[in-house]
Structure 1
């Protein structure tokens, strides 16, 4: 109504063209301009709000190492492809550096992208071969070396250059698995990975006394001399066992089954701190791979359900932990020495257990037998075992050094423990 009145005021009554022009201006063009102005204003406001947010995201993107261990694990979980390894926090030599794990492209290795920055092999000094208790078979693709890195003793797990593509993939996957476990005081620290240059290398902290089994055997020899330098007492057994139980409890909290608990899989530091290693079966279990040939050599450490062909479980780790306690108190005796590996399951079905060693107290033997229940549900959890070990440690004998007559005969040990002659139990 108002638009018609305006057109009549500006135009003569008989000027139809003028009336139509004024009508279009008032009814169509002006509202259209107003609408266009409103849209432009809204668009400007959106740009102003979104631009600072995108700028903040770009600034925050490089901050990868100030987060907690839990945040780092979540980033690993979101990765669809293997990108690299985050060095655990608290490691000075690498300054929390992310170490990419790319390898040289080979036809059978997939989803391992190449990157340009990582610690080079030139960072290692005083590299020497690490002597093993038994020689590594020619089929083993990994060689072990002792080295220095940033004024720290380390062990290098080096993949031989003749390794196949699948062996390279397994090596990188294992390194990623160990890194994903995160830091723990009783797990050896993974310090980094060399993957841009050949050969692929894992850098792990060195523990002075190496594996616990060899350490126990050395205690036998030292205790047989006039001046004993081995401080292996019953109290020490409780202490070191509690440390291994702490590591197992941590792995179980991450829904990880170790599957390889034994003295051969425990490393001993210069201060006699025990750290759990031997994580190969745990990695294979996480990928769903079948048990390897080396797993078959662990028969006398396996729970009855595993001997019957079922999967190794956390309660199976508890059973093996009881065998570890037996090894420690006997300074490295093989379990069930008088039995062939093929006779063990039938022996256990009759309700038989490990015999109590002469130097074993009631408290320690109670811990061993609690791990040896035929029913897995009756075995204690690692947290319950830790409480039991702490209580036993308070009253344990810390003065009398454990002694076993005579050194260990390695050939006899291999036979009684069920290992093959060329089997290498060493893990570092």
Structure 2
């Protein structure tokens, strides 16, 4: 009997010990498992951070990488020069203006104009923050023939970055080539400071000034007819569209289509100028946030700071038609410039001017669809203009009796008066 009791007590003690072991095992599990989970998480976090930092460093080491919308390859960090195998890219490693100019000038050899061929008698056209624009005469050829040009001179003193940017603009014109409706490059002087860019001279000046002169009781001046008909509006508009199509073929857009950025010749040949925004897209991949464009010419997507494109130029082209048919009136005359976005968001557009036919107004309205995809393509828009021109009035002259006060115009249009004080808006 006593033996059985000892056996039962031993079994009970063993069972109690087993339960204690089980409880102790569960306590260890409660502690160890979370520790392992936390440790695993920290290891994974460290690996992710290491991969992220490594990726960031590799992106920074890639010179052409930018987080922007798909655009033509950036040309701001290399320069194209003529080599034996064609064009080659030269990295900008120069540390001084002089060494940079020595390196880059050979690639512009075909554009170089000897300085002694540029007249010293320079007629100042405009003085801006980047430099001064002059009208000058180039005397070249055999026999020597004088030719009027517009000279854009880089301001001095100029640092390396300013010189590189200025030369980049010369190369941009070289890249574009010539088109009958774009102001083209005549040459350059880059072998030493001051650096010059020589552009085509369109003597009669900008379209906006021409439209204002058409308001006066003047028939002709300097051989230029100062009367404008509906048919001639279509003629000028078609030429602007041809220039925009040329830019689009090079995956570019203008970004600031307006009467002030169009030069006019005596035969009403239109030359689109003011290509600074197109250059920024070409060189940097995007429009600089520091670049200010008058709000009343901008498409809604531009006002909302969305990526710009050729459909924005189509919107602005509708504004250009309004400018021409009103002989240079500011758009949205009843709307303050800072309120234009809210005005458009309410679904409003400009009403038909009294000088505008319903056909032309319908073309304007097609340009002013809020949705970019609803606006016509450049080719379609040009076809509409050509069809409208065939039945347009070529006899009745557009008439607006009020003369323009530049200060009042600038306030209503949202422009600076200084930007209206000269006839050229060159790059």
| TM exceeding 0.5 | yes
Q: 2:219, 2:227 within 8 Å by CA — same for their partners in 1?
A: no
Structure 1 residue 211 and structure 2 residue 175: aligned? no
Partner of 1:305: 301
* Residues 347/176 of structure 1: CA separation in 2 closer, same or farther (3 Å cut): same
Partner of 2:175: 180
Q: Deviations over 1:66-119 (max 9, x none)?
A: xxxxxxxxxx9999942569xxxxxxxxxxxx9xxxx9x763798651546532
* Residues 107/390 of structure 1: CA separation in 2 closer, same or farther (3 Å cut): same
2:312 paired residue among 316, 322, 346: 316
* Residues 78/264 of structure 1: CA separation in 2 closer, same or farther (3 Å cut): closer
Q: CA deviation at 1:179?
A: 1.5
Q: CA deviation at 1:381?
A: 0.9
Partner of 2:195: 200
Structure 1 residue 121 and structure 2 residue 111: aligned? no
Q: CA deviation at 1:192?
A: 1.1
1:238 paired residue among 231, 234, 237: 234
Partner of 1:342: 338
Q: Deviations over 1:161-215 (max 9, x none)?
A: 3233222111111111122112211112211111013211111111121111111
Q: CA deviation at 1:146?
A: 3.3
Alignment partners' CA distance in 2, 1:107 and 1:115:
14
**C-alpha RMSD of matched pairs (Å):** 3.2
Q: CA deviation at 1:406?
A: 2.5
Partner-residue secondary structure (3-state), 2:338: helix
Alignment partners' CA distance in 2, 1:276 and 1:301:
16
Structure 1 residue 107 and structure 2 residue 100: aligned? no
Partner-residue secondary structure (3-state), 1:208: coil
Alignment partners' CA distance in 1, 2:324 and 2:235:
11
* Residues 267/209 of structure 1: CA separation in 2 closer, same or farther (3 Å cut): same
* Residues 364/344 of structure 1: CA separation in 2 closer, same or farther (3 Å cut): same
Partner of 2:398: 402
Alignment partners' CA distance in 1, 2:297 and 2:79:
34
Alignment partners' CA distance in 2, 1:231 and 1:292:
39
Q: CA deviation at 1:421?
A: 4.1
Partner-residue secondary structure (3-state), 2:215: helix
Unmatched segments (≥5 aa) in structure 1 = 1-75, 86-97
Alignment partners' CA distance in 2, 1:143 and 1:334:
26
Alignment partners' CA distance in 1, 2:325 and 2:160:
43
Q: 2:74, 2:285 within 8 Å by CA — same for their partners in 1?
A: no
Partner-residue secondary structure (3-state), 1:203: strand
Q: CA deviation at 1:423?
A: 3.9
Partner of 1:144: 134
1:328 paired residue among 324, 329, 348: 324
Partner-residue secondary structure (3-state), 1:131: strand
Q: 2:229, 2:396 within 8 Å by CA — same for their partners in 1?
A: yes
Q: CA deviation at 1:152?
A: 2.4
Q: 2:124, 2:132 within 8 Å by CA — same for their partners in 1?
A: no
Alignment partners' CA distance in 2, 1:130 and 1:221:
26
Alignment partners' CA distance in 1, 2:397 and 2:76:
51
Alignment partners' CA distance in 1, 2:192 and 2:114:
7
Aligned residues: 333
Q: CA deviation at 1:414?
A: 0.5
Partner-residue secondary structure (3-state), 2:151: strand
| Stretch deviating more after TM superposition (111-120 or 372-381) | 111-120
What are the equivalent positions in structure 2 for 1:47-62 lying under 5 Å apart?
Answer: none
Q: 2:229, 2:398 within 8 Å by CA — same for their partners in 1?
A: yes
TM-score by length of 2: 0.71
Structure 1 residue 82 and structure 2 residue 79: aligned? yes
Partner-residue secondary structure (3-state), 1:259: coil
Q: Deviations over 1:315-338 (max 9, x none)?
A: 101001110111111111111121
